[in-house]
Structures are given as structure tokens and as C-alpha cells.
Structure 1
Amino acid sequence: MVNEAQNNKHYHCPVEVTLDVIGGKWKPLILWQLRAEKLRFSGLKRSMQGISPKMLTKQLRELEGDGLVLREAYPEIPSRVEYSLTEFGKTVLPVLDALFEWGNGYLEREYILDKNEEVKTADGISH
């Protein structure tokens, strides 16, 4: 049993730490969007339907604070800010890849189950 304190939080399991750092509705999606390229705030916002600017800012700050995301501000007019994964942030990619694969398999399973249900209700016979 692990009992590490980080940010005044006590964790009892490594999975708990992982979910605290990258869990939630938006953080995995932000990390997924940044896996291949740097993006500006507007690019992230555009690629993530339903996230408010306030929530995107909050999540980016938390990911930056945890050392997964790098925020680069360029001294230009108008100002330009780009976000990317840090080297440490890239270590989460195998976790995201596993989530992608699991989700893909789940969707395929649901599609097959839905198709079987359609066949069953179409002819009244279970196949």
C-alpha cells in the first residue's frame, strides 16, 4: 500500500494518483490532442467540443502544474501561446493508447451487440 503525499494529498494506491493527475472529463482529451503536435488555445478549444474557455484554462494550468504540459508564450504582438507535452507528459502516452484501444474495443462490442439486437427484433428470432 502506497501512502505518498503530493500537493498535501495522501494517496493509498498508484491508480488513485494517476486518476487524480490525468483523470476527469477533459484532461485525457487535452493530453490526447497534444500527443502529436503543439497547439494554441484556440486549436485545443476547437478540437474539444463542449469545453468552456474557463475550464480549458483551468485544466491546462493543472496539467502544467503537474509537469505534463508545457506552456510557451512568445513575445509577439498579438501574443502567441502554444501548448505541448513535456518529456514527462509523453510518458502518459502508453496509458492514453491503452484507453484508446479499450474504448475502441468497447465501441466495436457495442456495435456488434446493437446489430445482434436489430437482427433479433427484425425477425423475432434470436440468432
Structure 2
Amino acid sequence: MALTCGSGLHDRHDVYAAQCPCRDVLDMLANKWSALAVGALEEGPQRFGALQRRLEGVSPKVLTQTLRRLEEHGFVDRTIYPAVPLHVEYSLTDLGRGVAGPLGALRSWVESHLDEIHHARATAS
């Protein structure tokens, strides 16, 4: 029996339902830059430049978009400290810390099984 995608605070949601907003959140969290940003922020609050160095290969534009989406969904806090130039730090919220564990497990699983995945891809070709 499929669950409907409720709109109330205590309704059950079904990520398999076509119109469920869970899919938007899943899509955002399953993005590699989101998963990596959350992992980097587990180490504590960080400035934009430090995050960009930690997430090798991410462009400033993509990192900005990723952090904005994480902030809009309540996973990341953006704190501005008055200084010249402005000092901005990003940190995980309680919600962000809650999703950090599952995302960390996924990152670890990928690292541990990458050789098997590459082998499977090579033999499938």
C-alpha cells in the first residue's frame, strides 16, 4: 500500500509518489557537491574560500548555488560578521548535523567500494 504524500506536520510522506516534495530534498542531498559540502562542514564552521579549497574542483558559482540551496532547506546557517571585508561563515544546523551521518556513510561506502565498481564497469563494457 503506497502512502500519500501528506502536507501536514505529522503526515507520512512517500518519496516514491510523483508529486511528493521529498523528491526535491532527495535530489538536493544526493548531489555530489551537497554531500561533500555537508561533509566538509562537519569539521566545523568554515568560510567560503576554505570550503572551496576543501571541495577540490568546485567552481565558485556552483559552491554558491549549493550553499544557498542547503541554507534554503535548513541544513546550513550562513553567519555574517561585520568586518572589512565582510567575514561570512557557513555551519551545519541541527538538521544538517542529522543528515551528515547518512551522507558520511554513503561517502565512506563509495570510497571503500570504488575498486569493485570500476571492475564491474570494466567487465560490463
> TM-score interval w.r.t. the shorter chain?
0.7 to 0.9
Seq. identity, %: 36
Q: Structure 1 residues 50 and 101, CA, compared in 2 at 3 Å: closer, same or farther? A: closer
- Equivalenced residues, count: 109
- When the two structures are superposed, what TM-score results if normalisation uses the length of structure 1? 0.72
RMSD: 2.6
Runs of 4+ in 1 over 4 A off after TM superposition: none
Q: Which moved more, 1:64-73 or 1:16-25?
A: 16-25
Shift of 1:97: 2.4
- When the two structures are superposed, what TM-score results if normalisation uses the length of structure 2? 0.73
Structure (1 or 2) with the greater strand fraction: 1
SS in 1 for 2:19: strand
Q: Residue 21 of structure 1 corresponds to which residue in structure 2?
A: 28
Shift of 1:2: 4.0
Counterparts of 1:62 and 1:4, CA distance in 2: 23
Query: Any gaps of 5 or more consecutive residues in structure 2?
Result: 8-17, 120-125
- One-letter amino acid of the structure 2 residue matched with residue 11 of structure 1: C
Query: Any gaps of 5 or more consecutive residues in structure 1?
Result: 114-127
Q: Residue 10 of structure 2 corresponds to which residue in structure 1?
A: none
Matches for 1:111-126 after TM superposition, within 5 Å: none
- One-letter amino acid of the structure 2 residue matched with residue 3 of structure 1: C
User: 1:48 aligned to 2:59?
Assistant: no
Q: Residue 77 of structure 1 corresponds to which residue in structure 2?
A: 84
Q: Residue 10 of structure 1 corresponds to which residue in structure 2?
A: 19
- Which is greater in Rg? 1
